[in-house]
Structure 1
Amino acid sequence: MKAVILARVSSREQEETGYSLPAQEKLLKDYAARKQFQIVKVFSASESASGAKQRKVFCDMMKFVEKKGIPHLLCEKVDRMTRNLKDAVIVNDWLESNPERQIHFVKQNLIIHKNAKSDEKFRWDIEIVLAKKYISNLSEEVKKGQKEKLAQGWLPQKPPLGYKTIGEKGHKIHVIDDGVAPLIREAFELYATGQRSLKTLGEAMFEKGLRSRSGRMIPKSRLADILNDPFYIRKNRFNGQITPGEQERLISDDLFNNVQEILRRKHNPKYRKHCPVFKGLVVCEGCNGRVTWETQKGHWYGHCNTRNCPSRLYVRQEKFEEQVLPLLDRIAIKNSSLAEVIQRGMRESYMDQVAYRESSLEQIEEHRMRVQKRKDTMYEDRLEGRISLERWQLEDKKADALLAEIDEQRGKIRKAETDYRDLGANVVELARKSRRIYESKKRKPQERHLLFSLVFSSLSLNADRLTPTYSPAFATLEEFAQIWNKKFEPIQNTAISGAVYELEAFDKAIKAKESSEPRKDFRTSKNPRHSVRFSHSAEESGALLRR
């Protein structure tokens, strides 16, 4: 007689205590040999399979025995066959439709069929109810464990990319994965610039080495989930609720919030196969409209597409480059020794603010220590029974929120210090290498576009003549680069000390000029100043310099 075997392990503990799939299959095959059953097929579901996968195995088995007309099912125990009333009804209907059909529960010495005795059917019904109760109790215990894990500040599941799990069972925590975390942080920083779509960001991070846990490129949907996950700012999101976390912070709240605004905006950057370098940067002087770009025979042409515009001449991109590239040379400090002195001076210029920032950090640290001490005291009071559980939970939650706010404030001060120190040095270095960066064959059109958007605040087109306007930082640098280059050009191997002396002289001249000349850049309705973004300038310029 033909028979089918069903083996199932629902937990790792069961597999480790002798309930493994091979052990079940051996038991059932030995039983089949004694009963002279011919095993047609073995259906099995491991502990790693999801609930949906295990149910699929069950449904596939019932369809198989129905289609092939196999009258016997072999299973270790009732709870290996079914743990819910829905599956029990399916099995019972299968038994009642043919008196020759039987289910053998080997370990329980129970055989169920249509004409089974009433006490055997009663045992079958009781075992189903007990199995359902076991599952319900198991689900309840799992939810209690998850709730306790969240209360301790840890996510009761696998962490997102950038973190890894360490520790023994029952004491597992999440720590930063030093191999992946820098790439995740860079992905946030690149997307926060607002110039990348999810598709181009995924491709860029794949080139940098970011992979999914299966070793593949991260798809757009998964990348959006990563950018939207508050886990990276010490918050755990589980079952739609967000709770404070104990894991180490990977990014700042400001960076995370900037990314969320870009994710929620209506018009996100879209992936484009072709990207003109000057797209969105050039304005027509005749009508103040944006210059449109299109490709003809492998060349990009820019032209004003506004109706009735007096200037609608088509100009090739190479014509733009001939006029713009020499302007990159005007902002470059040609003397390398002088450039190094300027960069070092800019990095050291922020030292007058260090004392104030250190004082602020000391005050914040003292405040944090007081809050932490109060939190520990409240915990000791709870252990001694001096306060109620509800009171302790309320005060502990307030302390955690205050500590998170203090940590965020401390991180902002430290990040502002680093950005202030690096921004000026990046501007000088980017100016020196701007033309080399643009002409490099390794550079993509998006990177050349980013370079021009940093250096120029606007580019005006009149017929085929381009009139550029430097952004404020590069405008100042261009003004004095001409003086510095002219003064230091005849000097070869200038000593650092001499350069410092000359630099101090120029600094005094700059301050004297600023104090003597009236400001002419006040914003009015007739003269609106260009709005310059400083939130990501250090990151964007640094990204161009790193490659």
Structure 2
Amino acid sequence: MKRCFAYIRVSTVKQGEGVSLEAQQEAITRFASQHNLSIIQWFEEKETAAKRGRPQFNKMVRELRNGRAHGLIIHKIDRSARNLADWARIGDLADAGIDIHFATESLDFRSRGGRLAADVQAVVAADYIRNLRDECIKGMNGRLKQGYYPFRAPIGYLDNGRARPKTLDPLRAGLVREAFELYASRRHSLRTLHAELQKRGLTNRQGGKLTLRGLETILRNPFYTGVIFIRRTGATFQGNHEPLISANLFQRVQDVKAGKAGPKVTRHNHLYQGLFRCGACDGPMVPERQKGTVYYRCQRRDCITKTVREDQIAASIRSCLANAQLTEQNARDARLAIRGWVAERKNQNDDQSLVLRESNLHSRKARLTDALVDGMIEREDYKERHKALVLEEQILREERAAFASLDAKAENLHSVIELTKNLTQGHDLADRQQRRAIVEMATSNRTVTGKKVCIEPQDWLQGLKSISAVPSGEPSRDRDRTINEIIHGIPSIQQ
């Protein structure tokens, strides 16, 4: 009686819970009994045969090559392999003298005709898988073009079944948003952010510990802005799910990750790290502590700028904030101007600047497609540029939504006005992190030349004062343009 191995397989673990494996086992047992074969070991697999690398299949092939059995019984050809590489390995076993049997197919694998018939069926099985794969890809691309994400929802979203958009996870969405905000603040490295989010309770989909790689995957996924990006193909689609963060916030995070926004964190966490540059050579002013005093130093030896004390920088910042803050009269004038601006805007149908920007964006997308069709750019370059344009389109969409909520904009501006009436006091009373945030929000062009510290107020601060300087009887065109510039440049107080 010949000693044989028996191999049974289903494509998924879920299928393994049914009766398919039992049915295969019964058929193989019956076949062995009828042909006087002895089954000495069963190999059970719960993986698709379309791909190579099945562990039980590989183990079985090794054991057969080592002479552990004289034959192999399989339920049918498509249970053994649906890719030609593994089918070739079965053919190699037959060439080495191993008897190959199929329990439900009357094929004599030892004859030329039987081997040919089996090869034809194996090719048909492989082609079936290719066709199935193509149809699946076609269906997924159709869903993606409709804005549906046909894969598992990322952390912070929930799956709702086929042809339904992902929805925000009430348990994790807020924590994912905080992850982006904290990283964009540059107060955290990836590791310190990971530790902070663990304290706050962010977990993976299964409720287990979120890994460092998992956090990095979250921070680079534009899905949270409402944009679907398929990393394997490089294709980008506009999703129909609710965005969790703004495209601007996502872009700030990518800039920090790429090192375009200055250092994220230092060992001593110096207050003005990354905020000042040398006015002579444009190099960064790097902090260092000497005998209890913090100095900011230009790293170029031949530069005229050497060092400046942190308390001197703090005094210059306070002076800049004092000059920039609004008086009570400035604040009243600015509030009146904003109310008039809102009233006028509500009588208009659209913001012409947004219309022009949207038209320009559509033209750029069309030119990019033409460049690809004409062979002027490579497909990989096209995918990268198209992704950037889709993100830019999302930013415009957010601005359009913000334009529709003029009252909310006006409320934000009123909050800013109140803040700018007490800039110096707010700076003095704030903790270190809040103080740094005020400096970033309210100042620009921060340089040190020689021993002189130069700081300018942000454009939106100067704009507020210019609004209040416009006489009430003057035309509103300049005032409208100034308010628009303030809105686009000002940080939201709610963020």
TM-score tier after normalising by the smaller chain length: 0.5 to 0.7
Identity %: 24
Q: Is the Cα–Cα contact under 8 Å of residues 234 and 248 in structure 1 kept in the other structure?
A: no
Q: Which residue of 2 aligns with 1:4?
A: 5
Amino acid corresponding to residue 105 of structure 1 in structure 2: F
Q: Which residue of 2 aligns with 1:176?
A: 168
Q: Which residue of 1 aligns with 2:79?
A: 80
Q: Which residue of 2 aligns with 1:277?
A: 271
Q: Is the Cα–Cα contact under 8 Å of residues 50 and 83 in structure 2 kept in the other structure?
A: no
Structure 1 unmatched ranges of 5 or more: 334-338, 368-402, 480-509, 517-531
Q: 1:421 aligns with which of 402, 406, 411?
A: 411
Q: Which residue of 1 aligns with 2:476?
A: none
Secondary structure (helix, strand or coil) at the match of 1:51 reads: coil
**In structure 1, what is the Cα distance between the partners aligned to 2:56 and 2:292?**
57
Q: Is the Cα–Cα contact under 8 Å of residues 229 and 236 in structure 2 kept in the other structure?
A: yes
Q: Which residue of 2 aligns with 1:51?
A: 51
Q: Which residue of 1 aligns with 2:216?
A: 223
Change (3 A) 1:235 1:422: same
Change (3 A) 1:468 1:58: same
Q: Which residue of 1 aligns with 2:64?
A: 65
Shift, 1:52, TM fit: 4.7
Q: Which residue of 2 aligns with 1:42?
A: 43
Amino acid corresponding to residue 7 of structure 1 in structure 2: I
Secondary structure (helix, strand or coil) at the match of 1:166 reads: coil
Amino acid corresponding to residue 143 of structure 1 in structure 2: I
**In structure 1, what is the Cα distance between the partners aligned to 2:22 and 2:140?**
31
Secondary structure (helix, strand or coil) at the match of 1:136 reads: helix
Q: What is the TM-score with the length of structure 1 in the denominator?
A: 0.59
Aligned length: 433
**In structure 2, what is the Cα distance between the partners aligned to 1:230 and 1:256?**
10
Superposed CA deviations along residues 317-355 of structure 1, whole A, max 9, x for unmatched, are 5x5699689889989x9xxxxx9xx99999998544444
Q: Is the Cα–Cα contact under 8 Å of residues 43 and 56 in structure 2 kept in the other structure?
A: no
**In structure 1, what is the Cα distance between the partners aligned to 2:426 and 2:153?**
41
Amino acid corresponding to residue 176 of structure 1 in structure 2: L
Change (3 A) 1:475 1:133: closer
Superposed CA deviations along residues 451-509 of structure 1, whole A, max 9, x for unmatched, are 4433555586997x9898766778999x9xxxxxxxxxxxxxxxxxxxxxxxxxxxxxx
**In structure 2, what is the Cα distance between the partners aligned to 1:287 and 1:460?**
10
**In structure 2, what is the Cα distance between the partners aligned to 1:166 and 1:139?**
24
Shift, 1:79, TM fit: 0.6
Q: CA RMSD in A?
A: 5.5
Q: 2:100 aligns with which of 99, 103, 112?
A: 103
**In structure 2, what is the Cα distance between the partners aligned to 1:224 and 1:139?**
26
**In structure 2, what is the Cα distance between the partners aligned to 1:459 and 1:221?**
38
Residue 491 (structure 2) pairs with residue 538 (structure 1): yes
Structure number with larger C-alpha Rg: 1
Q: Is the Cα–Cα contact under 8 Å of residues 247 and 394 in structure 2 kept in the other structure?
A: no
Secondary structure (helix, strand or coil) at the match of 2:5 reads: strand
**In structure 2, what is the Cα distance between the partners aligned to 1:313 and 1:406?**
43
Q: Which residue of 1 aligns with 2:441?
A: 454
Superposed CA deviations along residues 217-272 of structure 1, whole A, max 9, x for unmatched, are 45468736753536733556483333444333444555556666666776764654
Question: For residues 280-299 of structure 1, what are the structure 2 equivalents within 5 Å?
Answer: 280-281=274-275, 291-296=285-290
Amino acid corresponding to residue 71 of structure 1 in structure 2: H
**In structure 2, what is the Cα distance between the partners aligned to 1:179 and 1:265?**
31
Secondary structure (helix, strand or coil) at the match of 2:430 reads: helix
Secondary structure (helix, strand or coil) at the match of 1:5 reads: strand
**In structure 2, what is the Cα distance between the partners aligned to 1:413 and 1:44?**
58
Change (3 A) 1:407 1:76: same
Structure 2 unmatched ranges of 5 or more: 356-392, 473-484
Q: Which residue of 2 aligns with 1:18?
A: 19
**In structure 2, what is the Cα distance between the partners aligned to 1:451 and 1:406?**
27
Q: 2:400 aligns with which of 402, 410, 424?
A: 410
Change (3 A) 1:311 1:184: closer
**In structure 2, what is the Cα distance between the partners aligned to 1:140 and 1:297?**
69
Q: Is the Cα–Cα contact under 8 Å of residues 9 and 45 in structure 1 kept in the other structure?
A: yes
**In structure 2, what is the Cα distance between the partners aligned to 1:17 and 1:307?**
75
Shift, 1:515, TM fit: 6.2
**In structure 2, what is the Cα distance between the partners aligned to 1:408 and 1:287?**
38
Q: 2:234 aligns with which of 230, 234, 240?
A: 240
Q: Is the Cα–Cα contact under 8 Å of residues 4 and 73 in structure 2 kept in the other structure?
A: yes
**In structure 2, what is the Cα distance between the partners aligned to 1:109 and 1:118?**
16
Change (3 A) 1:296 1:363: closer
Amino acid corresponding to residue 94 of structure 2 in structure 1: L
